[in-house]
Amino acid sequence: MLKTITRAVLALTAAVPAALAVNAVLAPLGLSPVAAAYAQAGDAAFLQSLGNRLTAIVNSTGSTAEKRAQVLPILTHDVDVDAIGRFCLGRFWRFATPAQQEQYLTLFHQVLVNSITGKLGDYRGVSISVGQATSENGDGLVPTVIDRPGQAPVNVQWKISNASGAPKVIDIVAEGVSLSINERDDYASYLAHHGNSVQALIDALTRQVSHAS
């Protein structure tokens, strides 16, 4: 599970800062060009800072354990994992008990972190080119092209939300595939084959976490 999330967020750990042009055309949102420019400049600064910190970790010579310890607070602070997790569970979030919701989000965090940090050593010598930042339905969209040695470039678009009062990554679209939508479809398929039982999904995630530990 979470293979798409793993690939996409691993791409985030490869991000490096680059100049971002501002697109001030946000008439459908009712924002003035000046307000739009400030909002997108804020998203640009957020991504640049995030890229700086993650690149330093990825390219360091530290052990996997050391890199994991450094990535964890960044993932917690700059990626809205709870929002992604709720979206991935879809309509079944409403059917889960409060205890199941809490357990599911805890497991979602653990599976995601294990998948990402377990492969930090595989990413070296990465570069990124950043395109023009835009907005959609109030969220910032930052297109990038990520290059890795010996592999084809990957087109990745970052969706950034400021709904919580601070910018956070809420989705990553790699080569046109949304990690959130793809994972939600996977979960829906799993649940459909297991009596639409949220507990069955929780049990599967628990086994996955146990095997990784």
The whole-number pLDDT of residue 95 equals: 94
We report the CATH number of the domain holding residue 70 as: 3.10.450.710
Summarize pLDDT for 100-138 with one digit per residue, the tens.
Answer: 999 999 999 988 887 777 666 666 777 777 777 778 888
Report how far residue 61's alpha carbon sits from residue 170's, in angstroms, rounded to the nearest whole number. 29
Summarize pLDDT for 140-176 with one digit per residue, the tens.
Answer: 888 877 777 788 888 888 889 988 888 898 988 888 8
Summarize pLDDT for 49-94 with one digit per residue, the tens.
Answer: 777 777 778 777 778 788 888 888 988 888 999 999 999 999 999 9
The whole-number pLDDT of residue 41 equals: 66
The whole-number pLDDT of residue 193 equals: 95
Percentage of the chain modeled with pLDDT above 90: 26
The whole-number pLDDT of residue 121 equals: 62
CB-facing half-sphere around the CA of 178: CA atoms within 13 A:
12
Under the banding of pLDDT at 50, 70 and 90, the label for residue 20 is: very low
Report how far residue 184's alpha carbon sits from residue 86's, in angstroms, rounded to the nearest whole number. 9
Under the banding of pLDDT at 50, 70 and 90, the label for residue 5 is: very low
- 178 in the Ramachandran plot: left (φ > 0), alpha (ψ -120 to 50) or beta? beta
Report how far residue 173's alpha carbon sits from residue 180's, in angstroms, rounded to the nearest whole number. 9
Containing domain of residue 121, as a range?
3-212
For every residue of 169-203, DSSP letters joined together read EEEEEETTEEHHHHHHHHHHHHHHTTTT-HHHHHH
Cβ count within 10 A of residue 93: 16
| Contact status, residue 122 vs residue 115, Cβ threshold 8 Å | no
Count: domains in the chain: 1
Report how far residue 71's alpha carbon sits from residue 176's, in angstroms, rounded to the nearest whole number. 26
